[in-house]
Amino acid sequence: MKKISILLIVALSFLACKQEKKEDNTEASETITTEEQPTKKEYPTAIAAVLDAHGGMERWNKMNNLCFEIKGGDNKETHTTSLKDRKSKIETKKWTIGNDGKNVWLLQNEEDSYKGNARFYHNLMFYFYAMPFVISDDGIVYTQMEEPMELDGKTYNATKIGYNAGIGDSPKDEYIIFSDPATDKMEWLGYTVTFGKEETADDWHFIKYDKWEEVNGLLLPKKLTWYNVKDNKPTDERNDLTFDNITVTETVLEDSVFSKPEAATIAQK
């Protein structure tokens, strides 16, 4: 019976990425009056240019779900995210991690098959993948670097990203977006890791974004490359990660896609 339930969950999630947009949602968008339209959010000049170079916020805001696959160790991971409320699910043959909007949950199809921290991992790859658009979220503090910064022999525009208190599980995390001055496309991400800590961190990690592809009008990464670091600067390539079967659409996913199965446990920090 447990195996049947697990297969049903996987099947529902697979179909969720391909289902048509709900008619009642379309009607709602058509009946919004000018007075009801949300105020257009303003971004620092450099960040606005980066967002425009990758397809623009108007296009991104039309999208309601994002799906992709990556290879995690011996497993293929299928990541599904509801963009407006950030409910999410990561599925493999051995385990599934989900966020139903209230809790992060873990379902292990084989005992002790998941070795990491599900709470930390549930949106980690989505966050790296959905750059630069996730830096348009509410609660973000932008600091434009006064001088261009050099990485790996090239000069970039650089904007530091921080968070207001209480935003997410790691509000002390910091990021730096490095963009090409000629194209405004994002090329590097610098970031710190503070999950489970109360203070900011001063050791920086770096990912290079040098392979992009257009998906439904948005420029999204095909490959990310992590670098070794010395003196808080990237040195040489450490490992890379390729994203496959990418979809980003206006389809509104049902809440049931992300619901906690009875056999799942709540993930703790």
Q: What is the tens place of the pLDDT at every residue in 16-31?
A: 554 433 434 433 333 3
Element (H, E) at 133: none
Distances (CA, A) of 224 to 9, 68, 83, 131, 152: 29, 14, 21, 11, 16
Q: Which of 41-45, 53-57, 93-97, 102-106 has the lowest mean pLDDT?
A: 41-45
Residue-wise pLDDT for 227-258, tens only, equals: 999 999 999 999 999 999 999 999 999 999 99
Residue 123 has pLDDT above 50, yes or no: yes
Whether 233 maps to a domain, the answer reads: yes
Which of 140, 125, 131, 111 minimizes the C-alpha distance to 81?
Answer: 125
Instruction: Reduce the DSSP state of residue 246 to 3 states and report it.
Output: strand
The residue length of the chain stands at 269
Number of H helices and E strands in the chain, helices first, is: 6, 15
Contacts of 193 (CB under 8 A, 6+ apart): 170, 173, 201, 205
* 144-153 average pLDDT score: 86
CA distance 269 to 260: 17
Q: What percent of the chain has pLDDT over 90?
A: 67
Residue 176's pLDDT is 95
Indicate the residue type of 165.
A
Whether 214 maps to a domain, the answer reads: yes
208 lies in which domain range? 2-29+43-266
Total number of domains constituting the chain? 1
Q: pTM of the full predicted structure?
A: 0.83
The tokens of 127 are what? 């966050």
Whether 109 maps to a domain, the answer reads: yes
Q: Within 13 Å of residue 101, how many CA atoms lie on the same side as its CB? A: 10
What are residue 157's DSSP bridge partners? 179
CB 163 within 8 A of CB 192: no
Residue 19's pLDDT is 46
Instruction: Reduce the DSSP state of residue 224 to 3 states and report it.
Output: strand
Contacts of 28 (CB under 8 A, 6+ apart): none
Whether 38 maps to a domain, the answer reads: no
Residue-wise pLDDT for 84-103, tens only, equals: 999 999 999 999 999 999 99
CATH number at residue 163: 2.50.20
Q: Within 13 Å of residue 77, how many CA atoms lie on the same side as its CB? A: 25
The tokens of 207 are what? 């990912």
Whether 37 maps to a domain, the answer reads: no
CB 135 within 8 A of CB 46: no
Whether 68 maps to a domain, the answer reads: yes
Whether 258 maps to a domain, the answer reads: yes
CB 213 within 8 A of CB 222: yes
Peptide bond into 38 cis (omega under 30): no
Whether 142 maps to a domain, the answer reads: yes
